[in-house]
Every structure is written in C-alpha cells, then in structure tokens.
C-alpha cells in the first residue's frame, strides 16, 4: 500500500508499523515512531495496523540545543 515514511512516499507490502520498520531496514534500530501524529509505543508496533495513505514518522536522537 502507499505510505509516507519520514516524508517520503513508499509502496510497501507491510501491514503493521513493525513490518514497515523492518522493510525500511530499521527493525533493530533504536528509534521511536509516530503514526499520523500520534505516538506508537514500541510494544504496540506489531499490532498497530497501517492504512493506505498513513504517514509514519521514525525518529532517533540527533544534535540539539
């Protein structure tokens, strides 16, 4: 289905947040996720189902002031 991941359009077979992360090569990375603006805790990624057009944000700690 068509998704947006970190602002980039994607066409993925993934049906959950966990599968989308794995498809992006971030299955093992220390990241945090938000779906359509709402936080998705790591424990809920495997059961959080994606819908076409969803926007997934995947973040990590970066330089900041």
Binding site for other proteins (CB under 8 A): 6-7, 26, 29-34, 37-39, 41-42, 57-65
**CA-based end-to-end distance of the chain:** 37
Going by C-alpha positions, the residue among 4, 62, 12, 9 that lies closest to residue 32 is 62
Question: Least distance from C-beta 59 to other proteins, angstroms?
Answer: 4
- Residues with Cβ within 8 Å of 57's Cβ and at least 6 positions away in sequence, in order, are 5, 6, 33, 34, 35
Query: Cβ 17 to other proteins, closest distance in Å?
Result: 13
Smallest gap, in angstroms, from Cβ of residue 42 to other proteins?
A: 6
Nearer to other proteins, 9 or 41 (CB): 41
């Amino acid at each position: 289905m068509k998704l947006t991941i970190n602002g980039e359009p994607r066409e993925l077979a993934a049906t959950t947040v966990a599968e989308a992360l794995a498809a992006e090569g971030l299955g093992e990375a220390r990241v945090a996720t938000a779906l359509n603006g709402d936080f998705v805790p790591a424990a809920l990624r495997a059961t959080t189902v994606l819908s076409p057009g969803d926007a997934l944000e995947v973040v990590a700690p970066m330089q900041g002031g």
